[in-house]
Every structure is written in structure tokens, then in C-alpha cells.
Copies of this chain bind each other. A is one copy, B any other.
Amino acid sequence: MKLGWIGLGIMGRPMVQHLLAAGHTVHACSRSGVPAELAAQGVVACASPADVAREAQVIFLMLPDTPDVAKVLFDDGGVAAQLGAGQTVVDMSSISPVATREFAARVAERGASFLDAPVSGGEVGAKAASLTIMCGGDEAVFAACEPLLRLMGKNVTLVGGCGAGQTAKVANQMIVALNIQAVAEALSFAQDAGVDPARVRQALLGGFASSRVLEVHGQRMLDGAFAPGFRIALHQKDLRLALESAGSVGAALPATRLAQDLFDGCSANGEAQLDHSAMFREMRRRSSKPAGGSTAN
């Protein structure tokens, strides 16, 4: 199939390679050009998003944030003006669910289809084609795109109508942030109480407190190993999407607001480029141990 791809960052590059490996033709463009490696593998470099859309039946977007998607779709030289019946835009970026519904409506005005399909699993999942892909859109559109998505991901779900994929992704990022907050607060508490947090974590694994975050991020907190991983700056973006979306639908997000506040504290301390498990450092700063340390043990 003739496919289009816009956005060739650390996620987009390996994802495109899975499409190529399955025998598809990929027309692509990217702000920083098409890497030589991809061109050598057969990717056709295009000058603009409009050029990609002229050639491709399905156009994938993998971009940093909501304004980037708006620009690629609707600016001069954008995708939308070239769209017609039989074409589909699949937005795999993580962006605003509210803006997504507006974008989908404008794409529909051109007679084309839209699917939101954000992913989780990071660079590792992108390379291993093991991404979780959360989709929103019409069932027929999803059914048509599903074989392509399964080349890039393992757990591919139609969550609901347009925007539902983005809503699920936001919910995912909320839970990850709040579970990090839970583990950071509990291990920090143990440390202040004079108890070895590593042994506390060990005692808790396997019980009702267990989570992927307790396993993975808990260990990072104990090791002080905060090289990313997933950067605080990106998680701040995701929580901003959560808080903005919540505002527009009237949802209360008290814990998410608190997690964002802790990430902001990290940011203010120059830690925005550290792994999100470094929220633990902000938790430590907020603990005011009495002089002389704990009296425990």
C-alpha cells in the first residue's frame, strides 16, 4: 500500500521501518529531513506534508504536540488541502482529545477519514513493534487500519469514537504519574522513618501495592538512576493535556494537579530532562527531616 509518514523522531523512525519491512511504500517528510538510513531503505522523501498527502492512501502523523499536528494538517503546504475520499489520517501523536475531535471534523469535511491512535511503550516498544496503541474513531476506519497498526504494536484497541484513543492515553499517563507519586511518597516516608526503602519495596512486591511502577520506577528511585527513560518535561506535557481536557469536561483531577506540582518542582530545580521517576527527588526536598536525622531503629 502507498503510505505516508510525517514525523521521524526517535519513535517515528523505527515505526516506519516496520511498515517498510512488510513491503509497503512510504512517502515521508520531517522537519529535519528524511534520514539517510531510511532513504536507503526505500523511504521516498517529500518536500512538504501536502506532497505526502498527494501520494498516500493512509497518512500517519507522529509529532510532539497539539500545535505541531495542527500545523502539519492545516497550514499552507499541509495535509488537509490535499485530502479526498478514500484517504485516512492516522494521528499517532499524543495530543489533546478535544483538539483531536476538531481536527477529525475538519478532515471529514474533505471527505477523508481520521483515526487517533496514540501509543505507549516508548522507544523500546517502537523498535520491538510491541507498542500499546489506543484508538478512537469509526469501527470501519479502525478495521481498515488495524493490519497496519499491528505491524507496529501488540496491544491494539479501539477504545471508542473519535478522541477516545487520546483520552485513554491521557488516562494512562495520569495513572503512571500518580503511581510514581505513590511509590515516591511511600519510599521517601520509609527513609524518613529510618527504615531501608529497598527492604520496604521488597516486602511490598507481590501484594496489593504491586505495580509496574513499584517494580521499575521504584528500583530507579532506590538506585538514584534518573537518566531517561521518559523525561519529566514530556510527562508535564501529558498532565497539562489531562488538566486542560478535564477543564473542558468538568472532571476533577486533584491528584493529577498535585503530581504536576511535583514535576514543576523538579523542573524548577533543573530536572526536566531527567526520568519521571526523579519525582522522588522533589519528594525528598519536601521532607524536612529534623536535625540529627531520624530516631527510628
Q: Does A120 contact B (CB under 8 A)?
A: yes
- Interfacial chain B residues near A179, Cβ < 8 Å: 178-179, 182, 209, 211
B120, B245, B256: the one contacting A208 at CB < 8 Å is B120
Q: In the complex, how many angstroms separate the beta carbon of A280 from the nearest chain B beta carbon?
A: 12
Contact assessment for A203 and B167 in the assembled complex, using a CB-CB cutoff below 8 Å: no
Q: Mark A149-162, 1 if CB is under 8 A from B, else 0.
A: 00000010111111
Q: Is A18 an interface residue (CB 8 A)?
A: no
Interface pair A192/B255, CB less than 8 Å apart: no
Task: Name the residue of chain B whose CB is nearest to the CB of A119.
Answer: B207
Task: Flag if B249 contacts A296 (CB, 8 Å).
Answer: yes
Given A157-B199, A157-B203, A179-B209; A174-B185 close (CB under 8 Å): yes
Output the nearest chain B residue to A242 by Cβ-Cβ distance.
Answer: B189
Across the interface, which residues of B come within 8 angstroms of A208, CB to CB? 120-121, 172, 176, 212-213, 216
Interface of A is mostly: helix
Instruction: Evaluate contact between A176 and B97: CB separation under 8 angstroms.
Output: no
A86 to chain B, nearest CB (A): 24
Whole-angstrom CA separation of A176 from B258 in the bound complex: 17
Contact assessment for A185 and B297 in the assembled complex, using a CB-CB cutoff below 8 Å: no
Q: Which of B120, B162, B193, B204 sits near A251, CB closer than 8 Å?
A: B193
Q: A171 is contacted by which of B189, B213, B249 (Cβ under 8 Å)?
A: B189
What residues of B have a CB within 8 angstroms of the CB of A206 in the complex? 132, 155
Of all chain B residues, which has the CB nearest A202?
A: B157
- Complex interface: chain B residues within 8 A of A190 (CB): 167-168, 171
CA gap between A164 and B190 in the complex, in Å: 8
Residue A170 interfacial (CB < 8 Å):
yes
| B181 in contact with A178 (CB, 8 Å) | yes
Q: Which residues of B contact A210 (CB under 8 A)?
A: 211-212
A interface residues, Cβ below 8 angstroms from B: 97, 101, 120-121, 132, 134, 136, 155, 157-164, 167-168, 170-172, 174-176, 178-179, 181-183, 185-190, 192-196, 199-200, 202-204, 206-214, 216, 242, 245-246, 249-256, 258-259, 262, 283, 286-290, 294-297
Query: Would you list the 9 A-B pairs with minimal beta carbon distance, nearest first?
Result: A178-B182, A211-B211, A161-B297, A252-B286, A192-B251, A175-B209, A171-B186, A157-B203, A164-B195
